[in-house]
Amino acid sequence: MYEDFNRNIHILLYRTLIDCPVIFIKLCMFWSSLLILVFIHIGLVNLYLRRPWKYFLHTLLNLLGLYILVQGIYFADRLRVEPVEGYARAAAIVFQRMNAVVLVLVLLLESLSLVFYYTELWNYVAKHPTVRSIKEGLDYLPTGLLYYWEDGALMFANLEMDLLAQKMLGRSIYAVGNGMTLEKSIREGKLSEGCQFMDRGPQLTVKLADQKVWQFHMREFLIGKWTVHEVLAYDITEENRLHEEVYIQYGELRKIAGRLRHYSENMRELTHEEEVLQAKIQVHDEIGRVMLATKRYLAGAQDAPTREELLPLWQRMIVLHHTAQDPGKEENAVRSLLEVSELLGIRTEISGKITSLTPVEREIFMMGARETLSNACRHAGAQHMWISIMKEDGGTTIKYQNDGKVPKGEIIEGGGLSGLRKQTEHAGGHMAIATGNFFILTIFLPERGKTDAGKYGSTEKYGTVGGTAISGPDC
């Protein structure tokens, strides 16, 4: 039995094709033909992917070898039943002497190489973008894409744009077959029922029947010598909702701002009335004291003040009297200020246009003029006072200067200067006091909507203690 097994193995190893059964020959031919078809597929895929030529050449060599193998097996099998002439006879004789085991091993090696090629091709496709993968990615973008040639012929449209065309035109973009039709319908507002064209600036915005809002961007560019039109659609439903909410909130804020503005104006009027009331109370008390002192002076009382002491009291009373009055128009206020200044023996010069001041600026201007005039008369013994109004980039500068005695030591702001500073800062401005050869008070008021408080906060701009200040009306 052992000898029979060895003999069968020996016969199998040395059996040629001419000794093999017909069914074995047919199976080998079928196997080879199947490998040829698969290698053709791999070669075409490599060409489609535009891979390097070496991959295609490897496939071509395998195809050539398999083709020769199939042809040799075919002619070897045919030679057993009929005569074969020419190169076919030579090939048939060679392959008739081919061992069956060698043929099977060759086909197995080709099959293994086929598995290797397919695995390598699969890995390449998985790691590299292809035309198909790019198209699939564009199709499933949430943004609508449409490209068409100058004559309207479609070049590309993804699924989102096709869905938008169905909602806006009632037909698929491929059924329309012309990209220019869709763009023209959007521009002219010829849309399906339920769709609404919205004005959102230079871009075209459409609200669909499902309440979604889409914005369309259109442009054209060149590819070589050909003009290509591009239409992009973006879903701005959420942005549109936020825009509407902000618009509603903006309207509410404008109403609140109007009420606050009205409240601020009422507060300003109330503050002004309180100041006038306090000034009148002060005038009333001052008049009482001056009248009492004058009465003692006229009666010749022993503790009565002298004439030199009584004159400043009357001058102060005149200033307080005019301060307590509501001037009305600015012309009357300035005229009243100049008259009081003349009565007090102080020559006042005003440069700049008072009419260029806003109501708030005029109020602060008059308040500062009254306070500086009062201090120039009471404390400085000044003979001249200069007031300048300068319109600058970003605001207005008002400067008060007199030629009286400069205060010694630090200036302590009393009720008048403190109130003036408070009123200035309330308006968003800044007040600075500088002393050199002259006393200078500067107020800067920014334009409405700007805040430049502190812009002129440094006293070095207008002079320092012990320094030389600019004199004259143009200071």
Final residue of a domain: which of 84, 101, 128?
A: 128
| 96 and 196 share one domain | no
pLDDT band, very low/low/confident/very high, at 280 (cuts 50, 70, 90): low
| 139 and 166 share one domain | yes
Q: What is the pLDDT of residue 187?
A: 79
Domain assignment present for 340 = no
pTM: 0.41
Q: Would the pLDDT of 2 be above 80?
A: no
Domain assignment present for 336 = no
Q: Would the pLDDT of 329 be above 80?
A: no
Structural domain range at position 43: 2-128
Domain count, the chain: 4
Q: Would the pLDDT of 351 be above 50?
A: yes
Q: What is the pLDDT of residue 456?
A: 39
CA distances from 458 to 83, 442, 464 (A): 121, 11, 10
| 475 and 352 share one domain | yes
Among 128-137, 150-159, 228-237, name the one with the lowest average pLDDT. Answer: 128-137
CA distances from 141 to 54, 130, 144, 160 (A): 36, 17, 7, 7
| 186 and 169 share one domain | yes
pLDDT band, very low/low/confident/very high, at 15 (cuts 50, 70, 90): low
Of residues 452 and 217, the one with the higher pLDDT is 217
| 474 and 353 share one domain | yes
| 47 and 16 share one domain | yes
Q: Would the pLDDT of 201 be above 80?
A: no
| 138 and 123 share one domain | no
Q: What is the pLDDT of residue 232?
A: 92
CB neighbour class for 387 (10 Å; exposed up to 12, middle 13-18, buried from 19)? buried
Q: What is the pLDDT of residue 457?
A: 39
Q: What is the pLDDT of residues 133-181, one digit of tens each?
A: 788 888 888 899 999 998 888 888 899 998 988 888 888 888 887 888 8
Q: Which residues have C-beta within 8 Å of that of residue 227, sequence separation ≥ 6?
A: 149, 150, 220, 221
Among 213-217, 229-233, 270-274, 394-398, name the one with the lowest average pLDDT. Answer: 270-274
| 140 and 190 share one domain | yes
| 355 and 471 share one domain | yes
Among 52-66, 405-419, 448-462, name the one with the lowest average pLDDT. Answer: 448-462
Of residues 130 and 347, the one with the higher pLDDT is 347
End-to-end CA distance of the chain: 136
Q: Which of 75-89, 363-377, 461-475 has the highest mean pLDDT?
A: 363-377
Final residue of a domain: which of 295, 326, 357?
A: 326
Q: What is the pLDDT of residue 443?
A: 92
Mean pLDDT across the stretch 267-289?
Answer: 69
| 362 and 403 share one domain | yes
The CATH number covering residue 452 comes to 3.30.565.10
Of residues 182 and 429, the one with the higher pLDDT is 429
Domain assignment present for 331 = no
Q: What is the pLDDT of residue 414?
A: 67
Final residue of a domain: which of 212, 235, 258?
A: 235
Domain assignment present for 338 = no
The CATH number covering residue 204 comes to 3.30.450
* Residue the block writes with tokens 């005569």: 83
Q: What is the pLDDT of residues 412-424, one digit of tens each?
A: 676 678 888 888 8
Q: In one letter, which amino acid is 57?
A: L
Domain assignment present for 335 = no
| 95 and 7 share one domain | yes
Domain assignment present for 341 = no
Domain assignment present for 59 = yes
Domain assignment present for 50 = yes
| 101 and 194 share one domain | no
Q: What is the pLDDT of residue 464?
A: 29
Q: What is the pLDDT of residue 209?
A: 87
Ramachandran quadrant class, 190 (left: phi over 0; alpha: psi -120 to 50; beta: rest): beta
pLDDT band, very low/low/confident/very high, at 473 (cuts 50, 70, 90): very low
pLDDT band, very low/low/confident/very high, at 13 (cuts 50, 70, 90): low
